[in-house]
């Protein structure tokens, strides 16, 4: 069943109105027509089954037949801070992190970040990540689209008062701390921030700086993982231990 996103304000009196890119997707890409069945999800955690009533280039009107809260969102709030990498690596991280149930993604720059993008390129990429997150949310049956925050510098990232119970910085040089050890201390967890470095890794000074701000350095085993592998492994393990992948 094709899924589309609609904001709550576009749902009224048992009907939903679709516009913009979602309408394009429905009409042009999937070529759906009046009478076709669709699933919608809104920004309040609800999913709706409905039938297209009318569909023009301006708006699609969908009659809602059934609304329910599917409960596919993890109770664990995961914020993934990912250093900007080369090429399209961030695209992959955004897509997969969305499938894995991350709620917030924070791209950041650090000392060894390779691409130094200008403002316009960052804006373009940010727009693309938003589209990727929406598309992955639709495909994976999520009812929340992850927020993608503005690009941070490492300093602002580690200095911000994140509303997270635990802040973990993944560092291959950490000698002892593992996720499992942290779990022994924190059997229950509702919110966590994970920071993953760029291809060049974090500098020792950055690790220091983060730990002064309450981050814990964590290792993910003895092999060096690519940044995107580290991000997706960390999210999976954390969702398994404290979230809804167990
Ligand atoms: N250039 C570094 C590796 C960077 S890997 C080197 O060769 O030493 C990119 C990022 O993935 C790191 O900054 C870290 O956040 C994460 N990462 C990769 N392997 C890891 C491991 N074994 N433990 C913890 N974090 C890891």
The pTM score is 0.95
- pLDDT digits 0-9 by tens, 7-42: 999 999 999 999 999 999 999 999 999 999 999 999
Residues 24 and 116 in one domain: no
In this prediction, residue 176 carries a pLDDT of 96
pLDDT above 70: residue 112: yes
Please, which residues have CB within 8 angstroms of residue 147's CB and are 6 or more apart in sequence?
103, 104, 105
pLDDT bucket at 208, cuts 50 / 70 / 90? very high
CB 31 within 8 A of CB 2: no
Ligand 1 close to Cβ of residue 154 (< 6 A)? no
pLDDT band at 181 (very low <50, low <70, confident <90, very high): very high
Tell me, in angstroms, the distance from the centre of ligand 1 to residue 201's CA: 6
Compute, in angstroms, the gap from residue 196 CA to the centroid of ligand 1.
8
Ligand 1 contacts CB of residue 106 (under 6 A): no
Q: Is 11 in the same domain as 82?
A: no
Which atom of ligand 1 lies closest to the CA of 169?
15
Separation between Cα atoms, residue 97 and residue 142, nearest integer Å: 12
Q: Is 80 exceeded by the pLDDT of residue 87? A: no
CB-ligand 1 contact for 224 (6 Å cutoff) = yes
Decide which of 26, 50, 68 is a domain's last residue: 68
Determine the atom of ligand 1 nearest the C-alpha atom of 218.
Answer: 24
The answer on 88 and 21 residing in a single domain is no
The whole-number average pLDDT for the span 85-100 is: 93
Do 128 and 206 lie in one domain? The reply is yes
Please check whether residue 25 is in contact with residue 4, taking contact to mean a CB–CB distance below 8 angstroms.
Answer: yes
- Each residue's pLDDT tens digit, 226-244: 999 999 999 999 999 999 9
**Residue 37: CA count within 13 A, CB half-sphere:** 5
In CATH, what number is assigned to the domain containing residue 12? Answer: 2.40.240.20
**Confidence (pLDDT) at 76:** 98
Distance 202 CA to ligand 1 centre (A): 8
Q: Is there a single domain that holds both residue 59 and residue 84?
A: no
Percentage of the chain lying above the pLDDT 90 cut: 92
154, 56: one domain: no
Predicted confidence (pLDDT) at residue 115 exceeds the cutoff of 90: no
What's the first-to-final CA gap in the chain, in angstroms?
27
Domain total for the chain?
2
pLDDT at 217: 98
The residue contributing the CA closest to ligand 1 atom 21 is 172
Q: How far is Cα 8 from Cα 128, in angstroms, rounded to an integer?
A: 23
Closest atom, ligand 1, to C-alpha of 112: 1
Average pLDDT score over residue span 161-184: 97
Residue 161 has pLDDT above 90, yes or no: yes
Q: Are residues 54 and 154 in the same domain?
A: no
The dihedral region occupied by 5, where left means phi > 0, alpha psi between -120 and 50, and beta the remainder, is: beta
* Residue-number span of the structural domain to which 127 is assigned: 77-242
- Shared domain for 82 and 153, answered yes or no, is yes
CATH of the domain at 163: 3.40.1280.10
Angle formed by the axes of helices 227-241 and 89-99, to 10°? 10
Residues 143 and 57 in one domain: no
Indicate whether 84 and 138 sit together in one domain.
yes
At 47, is the pLDDT very low, low, confident or very high (cuts 50, 70, 90)?
very high
Residues 6+ apart with CB under 8 A from 188: 242
Give the pLDDT band of residue 121 (cuts 50, 70, 90).
confident
Q: What residue's CA is closest to ligand 1, atom 4?
A: 201
Shared domain check, 121 and 45:
no
Domain final residue, candidates 19, 44, 68 = 68
Q: How many A from CA of 235 to the centre of ligand 1?
A: 15
Q: 59 CB under 6 A from ligand 1?
A: no
Q: Are residues 220 and 112 in the same domain?
A: yes
Pick from 15, 34, 68: which residue ends a domain? 68
């Amino acid at each position: 069943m094709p899924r589309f996103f609609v904001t709550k304000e576009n749902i009224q009196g048992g009907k939903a109105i679709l516009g913009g890119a979602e309408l394009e997707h429905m009409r042009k890409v999937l070529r759906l027509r009046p009478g076709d069945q669709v699933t919608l999800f809104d920004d309040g955690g609800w999913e709706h089954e409905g039938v297209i009533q009318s569909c023009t280039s301006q708006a699609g009107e969908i009659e809602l037949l059934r609304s329910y809260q599917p409960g596919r969102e993890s109770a664990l709030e995961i914020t993934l801070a990912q250093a900007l990498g080369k090429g399209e690596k961030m695209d992959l991280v955004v897509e997969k992190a969305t499938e894995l149930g991350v709620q917030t993604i924070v791209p950041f720059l650090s000392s060894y970040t390779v691409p130094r993008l200008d403002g316009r390129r960052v804006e373009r990429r940010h727009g693309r990540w938003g589209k990727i997150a929406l598309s992955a949310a639709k495909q994976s049956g999520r009812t929340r689209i992850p927020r993608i925050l503005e690009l941070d510098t490492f300093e602002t990232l580690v200095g911000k008062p994140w509303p997270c119970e635990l802040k973990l910085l993944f560092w291959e040089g950490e000698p002892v701390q593992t996720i499992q050890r942290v779990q022994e201390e924190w059997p229950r967890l509702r919110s966590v921030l994970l920071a993953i470095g760029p291809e060049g890794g974090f500098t020792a000074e950055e690790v220091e700086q983060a730990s002064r701000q309450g981050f814990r350095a964590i290792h993910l085993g003895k092999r060096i993982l690519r940044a995107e592998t580290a991000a997706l492994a960390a999210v999976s393990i954390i969702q398994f231990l404290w979230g809804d992948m167990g």
